[in-house]
Every structure is written in C-alpha cells, then in structure tokens.
A and B are shown apart, each in its own frame.
Chain A
Amino acid sequence: MILLAYVLCAAIVIACIAFCHTHRQMNAAALGFGAACAAITGYILIFVQVPVGTLIVGNGYFFIDHFGLFEVAVATAIFLLAAVYARGYVENLIISHELETGSLKLFYGAWCLLELVIVLAFYSDNLALFWIFAEMTTIISAMLVAILSAKENIDAALKYIFVASVSMLIAFAGLIFLFEIARSTTGTGSLNWTVLIQQAPAFPPGMAIAAFALIFVGFAAKSGIFPFHTWLPEAHAKAPSAVSAVLSGVLLNVGIYGIIRVFAIVHRTTAVATASLLVLFFGVCTIGIAAISMLPEKNLKKMIAFSSIENMGICLVGLAVATPLALFWVLFHVMAHAFTKASLFFSAGILHRQYRSHLSADAPDEIRDVFRFQPLAAWGIIIGGLAIIGMPPFAVFFSKFFILLSLGSLSLWVLVLVLALLFVAAAALGYFVIRSFSRVTPEGEPLDLVPYQTPLAMKAPIVILLAAVLLLAFLFPMGGTAYFDRIVAELMFI
C-alpha cells in the first residue's frame, strides 16, 4: 500500500504544476515531490520490515526488497539534489532563450513522472512490469533531452530512443523465453522474480543462457554497455545538466539493476560460467572503448559521459566475478558512482553556463581563467575527477579496489588489461582538466567574458554530494555493511 503514497504524491504534484505559472512555483513543486519521495523512502528504510511481499492483491506485481529499496534511496537522493540544482540552472536556460517558457510545464511534469516511474520500476517484482517501466524511463528521459530548442538535442533524443527501445524489444523476447522456461520446468509460467529465483536451479542451461543473452542486450543498451553505448555521450552531453546528472546517476542504474537481477537467476543454474564469460567480455570491451574515446575528447560533458560508460563496464566486470564479495562491491560502486557522477555533472553545468559555445553543442569548450570566474565549479571538477578515477579516500576507490582484487583471483591477465585501461581513462581525464584549467589570459589583456553569477542553489548540491562521497567511505560500516550483506543474501549469491 505504501506505493500508493508515491503515486498519490506524483498525481498531486503534476496537477499543481499544471496550474503553476512561474518557474519558481513549478520548481518548488518538483522539489516538494523529490522531498516527499525521499521522505517516504526514508520511512520504509527505517520503519518497515523489508522485504515486503505482495503489495497488490492477486498476482504480486510489486514487492520491496533490500536491493530495490537501496536503488530507490540512491535515486530519490539524486532527484532531490537535482531539483535544487535545477532552480538556478533552468532559470538561466530561460534567460538565455535555450528553453521556451512554454515548455516549462512539460519539463517539470516529465521530471516528476520520470521519478515516479523509476521508483515503480525498482519496486517491480514482475520482470515484464519492470521492463515496461524501464522502457517508459527511456521515453520520458528522451523527452527531457529533446526539450531544449536545438536541433542537436532532437537528434540525440531520437538516437537514444531508437537504440534503447530497439534493444529493449529484444530483451522482451528474452523475457518471453524466460517465461517459457519457467512453464516447461514447473508447469505454470511466471515472470515474478521471487518465483523465478526459487525455481532457477531446475532451469535447462541452454535455454537459460539464450534468455539471459537476449535480456542482457536490452538492459546493456539502457546502461550504455558496448556496443550499444553510442547514444550515451550524445544524450548526456546535450541534455540540460540537471537532467544529465539524473541520466547518469539514476537511469544507468536501471539497466545495471535489470542485469544484476537476471544474472542472479542465471547464477543459480549450471549456465553461470558461460553467462559470466559473456558479461566479463562486454565489461572489458566497454571499459576499453570508453578509455580510448576519452583520449581525444575536448568537450567536458562528453568526457564525463564516457567516464560513466567506463564505470558501467567496471560494474559488469565485478558482476562477472560472481562471488558474494564482488557483488557487494558492485552494489557499493553503483552508489558511489551515482553520487560522484551527479556532482561532476553539476559542476560541469556551471562551467557550461559560463563558457558555453554559441555555435554548437559539439564544439570544444573554451575554458579559461576558470579559477577567477568559477572557483567552486573548478574545484568541484578537480575533486570529483579525483574521486571518479578512484583516488583514496573517496568512495569509488574502495569499490574499484575490491572489484579489481576479486578480478585478480579470476584471471591475472584480465586484471592487468583492465588496470591499464583504467589508467588510460584517468590520464585522459587528468590531461583534459590540467590543460583547460591552466589556460589563463595574460595580465593586461582585456577580458571579454562576463562572470556568471552562480546562485547558491547550484553550488549547494555540489558541496553536499562531494561531502557525501568523502564521508560515505567512513560512515558506511555503520549499518551499511549489514544492509548490503542482506542484499547479497537475497540475490542468493551466498
């Protein structure tokens, strides 16, 4: 019944947005919705005995377990901060005529709807239902990408829709396969994850691997895995930065979440070795393609988008190891990456406002005198960049370290390869930042730039997220470890 609270809040807020007139009111409504979702999630986290079984009488379409709840908690936190950030960011978009005032209602309406759909997706027990919600997130977020009045955005959105939706259809064929497997082994077909994981040991390995491969194609496209990553840099770089943060921090997790769920089912069959190999191969390829693409990149937001692809690859590599320890750190990595990446996109958004090219979104950024104009955003990029490449003591360091450690026990050669690729990616990011941030106008020359007055609403989320990334590693053992252990147990890895 608690899910109705989310739906009710969304309905009220979207109705409010329909009657709002100014941007401030609409943003306040979206902010309120973010806060309400976070509050409900916090309430479930603290007071409700998880896992909760059937929430709707009958077939059991929804459920809440520790894994879903964890993803929802990460998602709502990022949505809340992104809504705060959007207050300043979207206002500037309107002033510079990049966003029509008429589109504002659509923007905030889609924003709230996206948050609701994501929450419902993470609470879906039925995999087909999860598929539908995941597919809806594609459409709604593509709308958010296309909303800026620029032709490149429409291009990026269409590419996003076609690559993601086409692959998701293949995933649906995989789900039908899974249904048939369940029917042929037990007599009654089901797509409920809780049922499937129980029946999994009886599944024939050949059909299980076929179903997994088809489903993997779909969710891999959602999370930007090679060779379906082509839409990601375009869409993430051209979306408004508040949306980019959500795309990178939350939507990629939807894909990884689906892969982990289905992998957990295959993990209990005898086909697990083949599935692991498949996942490992695509994981390493993804890291490789991201690292190589980062080298010549000159656009900050695209750089950060490629770094997202790389991190999704790391999640896959960790998953392929398929030990409880590796899974534990994959979950940690999902969380750490989401927070770090959101803060990076927020910082990049400020720099984008300051230095954006008026010609094209594809043009390289002309960043100079960055410490004079936007010191906070510059430090945000530097610290966030250090965090994302895995410098201690930030949270990503721990997850990368332990995932690589587990990988070492599987194959030393793959470990060396992945390490080299990670080094290339880190070097590319570092080189880009040093080169563009050290560009200074010589003393005496006139400055033709007008400093962009960054509102507090855009600065605060960056500071909060960076503090969270730093503290996460130290505060995590208090309760976090036990919680993650429970997720690993529920996914039946132990």
Chain B
Amino acid sequence: MTDPAFFDGVIKILFVCVLITAAYIITTKNLISLVRVYSLQSLVLVAIATALFWREGAAVLAGIAVVTLVTKVIVIPYFIAAVQEKIRIKRDIEFHYLSPTSSLFISIALMLVIYIALSNVLAGTPAKGSLFFFGAVIGLSLVLMGMMVTFSRKKAITKVLGYLSMENGVLLFGLFATELPFIIEFLIVIDLIILVILTTILTIGIDSTLEEYHNRLHRFYLWEEQEEAP
C-alpha cells in the first residue's frame, strides 16, 4: 500500500518502546504502575500488529491486534488491578536475588547474547537482516526478561506479571511469523486468561490464612464468572 520503508521505521520505533516498558517492569517496585505498564506494553504490541497489517495486509494480524487489545490491554490488567485492590498489596519490594540495577545490566547482556546467537543461527538465510530478525531478537529478549521477573520476585502477583510479559515476547516473536493460524493465537489467549484467573485466585490464598481464603474465594466465585464471559 504505502511506502514499506515508512512502516519499517515506525515498527523500529515501537520496538524501542517495547524495550522501555520491559525495563520499567524489571525495575519498578510499585505494583499498580506495574499493571499499567504491562497494559501499555500490550498496547504497543497492538500498534506493531496494526502497522504490520498495513504493510502486509494479512487479515490474521488484524485479528491478533483486536484480540490483544481486548484481552491484554483491557480485561487482564483490569482483573489484576481489581485483585490487587482486594488483597491490598501496593508494593513488592522483595527482590529475591537481584537488585533492579543488576537486573538491568543482566538484561542488556542477555540481549547481546541473543543478538549474537541469532545472527549465528540465521547466518546465510534470507531471514537475516530483515524485520523478522529484529522481531526475534526483541521478542526473545522480552521472554528472558519476563522470565527474570518471574524467578526473581517473591510475590506471586508480580510473578504473574512477569509471565504475562514473557507471553508478550512470544507474541512479538510470533507476529513476524505471520502464517500461524488465527485459531491457535486465539486458543493461546484463552489459555492465558484461565491461567491468570487461577493464579490470582491462588495468590489470594498465599497471602492470607485459610479461613480468610475461603471467605474470599466465595466472594470471588461470582465475580470470576463475569470475567470469563469475554
């Protein structure tokens, strides 16, 4: 349609935005803004998917953009924020092994390693040098950064956000291998929603005594079914 080089530029800028959100997720201690940043990161992914859709015109990309917008920008962050409200955790200051600064350094190192490894693996194939290559590097880095969050934080709810951020990385990687059937992307999202609901419910259990847990669970049951509807 329009000039592909223009869209390439836009996508590269969006890549930078993704990295900024990832860095924020790694370092922040404030749980509420963590959820907001996750939502923002998903929004950037939606933008990338839309830009790719304009460039390549594959309907799957539009579908992915819509599904991501509905679930990851709106429903899941809303759900997690509501749970946080209930269990009244505002800050997660317990970093397990890593301080924020050292985790930033490690993630920079990780990105370099992935860049070098992927250039070796893809050397000689047409994929090298294309947008697919950059998508793969950024996507895989995001996966590893999310993994770092999952394993270095103590609170289960922060772990969930780390996991979600990983999943965003996989999605970003997948966006550049466009021919994946839409039904599969859709099923992954369903899977993600179930996982988030289950883990957050269990999280409530972790941070309370058992009697309280059961009371809370009863309150959540009704509420959970409303969430599952979309």
Residue numbers of A with Cβ under 8 A of B are 59, 100, 126, 128-129, 132, 135-136, 139, 142-143, 146, 149-151, 154-155, 157-158, 161-162, 165-166, 169-170, 172-173, 176, 179-180, 183-184, 188-189, 191, 204, 206-207, 210
Contact = CB atoms under 8 A, between A and B. Distances in A.
Given A139-B194, A149-B214, A162-B150, A157 B125 contact: no
B148 to A, nearest CB: 11
B199 interface: yes
B210 A139 contact: no
7 contacts: A136-B191, A158-B199, A166-B150, A166-B163, A172-B170, A173-B170, A176-B174
B77 interface: no
A80 B226 CA distance: 34
B140 A173 contact: yes
Contacts of B210: 149-151
Contacts of A143: 198
B184 A132 contact: yes
B139 A173 contact: yes
B61 to A, nearest CB: 15
Contact of B121 (A136, A169, A210): A210
B179 A207 contact: no
B202 A158 contact: yes
Contacts of B156: 158
Interface residues of B, number: 42
B184 to A, nearest CB: 5
A154 B143 contact: no
Nearest to A170: B143
Closest 9 A/B residue pairs (Cβ): A154-B205, A128-B184, A189-B179, A132-B187, A210-B121, A176-B177, A169-B166, A206-B121, A154-B202
A139 B179 contact: no
A207 B128 CA distance: 12
Contacts, number: 101
B173 interface: yes
B126 A184 contact: yes
B112 interface: no
Contact of A129 (B169, B174, B184, B198): B184
Interface of B: 117, 120-123, 125-127, 132, 139-140, 143, 147, 150-151, 156, 159, 163, 166-167, 169-170, 173-174, 177, 179-181, 184, 187-188, 191, 194-195, 198-199, 202-203, 205-206, 210, 214
Given A150-B210, A161-B199, A184-B126, 8 more contacts: A139-B198, A154-B202, A161-B198, A162-B159, A166-B147, A166-B150, A169-B166, A173-B143
Determine the main DSSP class of A at the interface with B.
helix
B206 A184 contact: no
A361 to B, nearest CB: 14
A299 B159 CA distance: 29
Interface centre among A154, A157, A184, A210 (most CB of B within 10 A): A154
B173 A176 contact: yes
B163 A162 contact: yes
B25 to A, nearest CB: 15
Contact of A183 (B139, B179, B187): B179
B122 A207 contact: yes
A165 B181 contact: no
Contacts of A170: 143, 147
Nearest to A190: B179
Nearest to A129: B184
A59 B143 CA distance: 29
Contact of B177 (A129, A183, A207): A183
A179 B206 contact: no
A59 B181 contact: yes
A258 to B, nearest CB: 16
Nearest to B208: A151
Contacts of A161: 195, 198-199, 202
